[in-house]
Chain A
Amino acid sequence: MRYLLRRLALFVVALLVISLVVFLALRVLPGDIATIMAGLNASPERVAALRDQLGLDRPLSEQYGSWIAGLLHGDLGTTMLTGQSVAAVVATRARITFPLIILGLLVALAIGIPLGCAAVLARKARTRAFFQVLAVIGGAVPALWGGLLLILLFAKGSGILPILPATGFPRTGWHTPGQALLALVLPALTVGIIVGASIMRYTRSALQSVASTGTIEMAMACGMTRTDAVLRVGLRLAMPQLVSVVGLTFAEMVTGVMVIENLFALPGIGSGLVDDLGHRDLVAVQGELFLLAAFFLVIGLLVDLTHRALDPRLGANDD
């Protein structure tokens, strides 16, 4: 209980710190925000109007206060380009990013966990070396290149085995679910393979750390085969570690898939943020950065708490 309270307090403090950082990142710009936002060829009147609209002439503390007050009401600001609310824009983009990372994570788990277990179970030195090499190389491939290779292999139009589209998200979006899903397959595979390599490494090291306590040995001494002991006892005991890793990985993927979204022309959260940055839409960028950072903090909080709930040894000291 005390841990919960302390962790929650930490969360609130971190949220405040992040809001300050995001806010200040925009105010320490060399030059004037309004000038930057308005672009190179803007008239002085346009700049002045923007200054007024953004309240840039008010003191910093007041600006910060009104921004926070807006945040508390769920108001992240409006985008300069379309005048839509930032929250609505992000929500639209999330409908691409989240399906993509969920698919990607499923692929990653389907690849990473079995390979991680196999790496621990491998008997022959050569097999173990093979898994080692696989993990090292898998963790060294740039996402962009991985995507390009898969395009070369499977994309309709340019692939060796042209079976999947790589032509961006359909205009009709999720109204044509089949098309939309198909558009996500190749990017999800790319993400899955790259994240799968890291899931594999984590699975292997989590299993090894469980094995080092002797629990797997003990289960074997009771009559389990090594395979059984690793899969039934080891994996279960490694679960808290793996859940943390999967949780954090999932969170990281929201921005981690930025490059893949860009490459496959998917208007997701990450590629959208880069676009807004390119358009110098700083109000939108400020809102999105804060929203993402808050999201990561929430995930960090949830992962910490789940970790404790899954591991009875950690809870024991709390009473």
Chain B
Amino acid sequence: MTDTATRMRRIRIVLSSMWRQPAGKYSLTVLGLWIAVSLVSLCWTPYDLMETDGYHVWQAPSASHWLGTDGTGADVFSWLMAGSRTDLVIVVLTVLFSAALGLLLVAAMVSRSGALAHGSVVAIDALISIPTVLIALMLAVPMGASVAVIVLACGFGYGLNLARVARPQALLAANSMYVESARANGASAPRVFLTHVVPNIMPVVVVQCSLSAGTAVLAESGLTYLGVGVPSGVPSWGHSLATSVKFININPQTVLWPGLLVTLMVVALNLFGDALRDAMDPLANPQLRRA
């Protein structure tokens, strides 16, 4: 019981110290709104997504359609609202997958088996220069356009990247005296990794994950536009952005909103990592040392 209580208190301290920085305040607000809107969109959007209206296509923004309507007469604002949940799912899955893959690779790189350690370094060096888009296209060959393509391609690329960035810190931790003594006391390799190595690379992991999250939103918009991302008919910001391309000669100002939305969200995701890292650092945040 006390354990969960301390944990809750630590979380509250971290959040409140993030809130005191402008960057943290911005990212918490925006991400909070994002989650809220995603939840609301599950049960309510101003217009039904599939509601088409042949008489009101390519409408400019107005009181009834805040951001106008698209080529089928569907409400752009409703689609953006519904798109937020798709992007949220993509971001969460990508971060989870890349973090899992990255940590697995880090574990391999710091393992005591020379062949495994060397092999994983070689594999990362060899594969890391292949861009995410190319991986997505390779996956799209068998899988077609799907959320899974985005998640797997981004997760793969960012996982490799995470492993490479975290490696020096992880090696330092894995070769330290306290790991030596933990081993001498009979701690198993996975246990040593989870209790000694992971906490030491946490700051790097947090920042990399937040960058991955931001990049995943950008990748979603690009891949969906290219036709290998979110399948057509599924709402997503990339979908709205791609649709807005067709607006450009009809209602140019409507083009602004989906892109602006994506930009604001990616900024929030990128700032979130930095703010969280600083708030979690006991050196920078004295409150944490007391908790």
Contacts and interface: CB of A to CB of B under 8 A. Distances in A.
Task: Check A-B contact in the complex, CB < 8 A.
Answer: yes
Interface of A: 10-11, 13-14, 17-18, 21-22, 25-26, 28-30, 136-137, 139-146, 148-149, 151-152, 157-158, 248, 251-252, 255-256, 258-259, 262-263, 270, 273-274, 277-278, 282, 285, 289, 292-293, 296-297, 299-300
Given A140-B263, A145-B241, A300-B129, A25 B142 contact: yes
Contacts, number: 139
Interface in B190-229: 214, 218, 221-222, 225-228
Contact of A277 (B137, B244, B249): B137
Nearest to A299: B129
Contacts of A26: 141-142
A292 B248 CA distance: 32
B153 to A, nearest CB: 12
Given A142-B218, A144-B245, A158-B249, A25 B141 contact: yes
A252 B129 CA distance: 8
Interface string B116-158: 0000001101111111011001111110000000000000000
Contacts of B142: 25-26, 28-30
A130 to B, nearest CB: 13
Contacts of A285: 137, 141
A133 to B, nearest CB: 9
Most buried by B among A136, A140, A285: A140
Nearest to A146: B259
B121 to A, nearest CB: 10
Contacts of A248: 129
A59 B37 CA distance: 52
Contacts of B271: 136
A102 to B, nearest CB: 18
Contact of A18 (B130, B248, B252): B130
B134 A292 contact: yes
Contacts of B256: 149
Nearest to B265: A140
A297 B126 contact: yes
Contacts of B127: 14, 17
Contacts of B252: 152, 158
Nearest to B267: A140
> Secondary structure at chain B's binding surface: helix, strand, loop or mixed?
helix
B90 interface: no
Interface residues on B, range: 35 or more
Contact of B126 (A10, A140, A158, A274): A10
B133 A255 contact: yes
A255 B131 contact: yes
A140 B134 contact: no
Nearest to B136: A255
B242 interface: yes
B236 interface: no
B263 A137 contact: yes
Contact of B263 (A145, A262, A273, A299): A145
A297 B129 contact: yes
B263 A141 contact: yes
B68 to A, nearest CB: 15
Given A140-B270, A142-B221, A148 B226 contact: no
Nearest to A301: B129
A148 B259 contact: yes
Contact of B248 (A22, A28, A139, A152): A152
22 contacts: A10-B122, A10-B125, A136-B270, A140-B264, A141-B259, A142-B238, A143-B222, A144-B225, A145-B263, A157-B249, A255-B133, A255-B134, A263-B225, A263-B245, A270-B133, A274-B137, A277-B137, A277-B140, A282-B141, A296-B134, A297-B129, A297-B130
Interface string B249-260: 100100110111
Contacts of A25: 138-139, 141-142
Contacts of B126: 10-11, 13-14, 17, 297, 300
A258 B133 contact: yes
Contacts of B122: 10, 13
A296 B260 CA distance: 32
**Which of B133, B139, B227, B267 has the most chain A CB atoms closer than 10 A to its own CB?**
B133
A274 B126 CA distance: 25
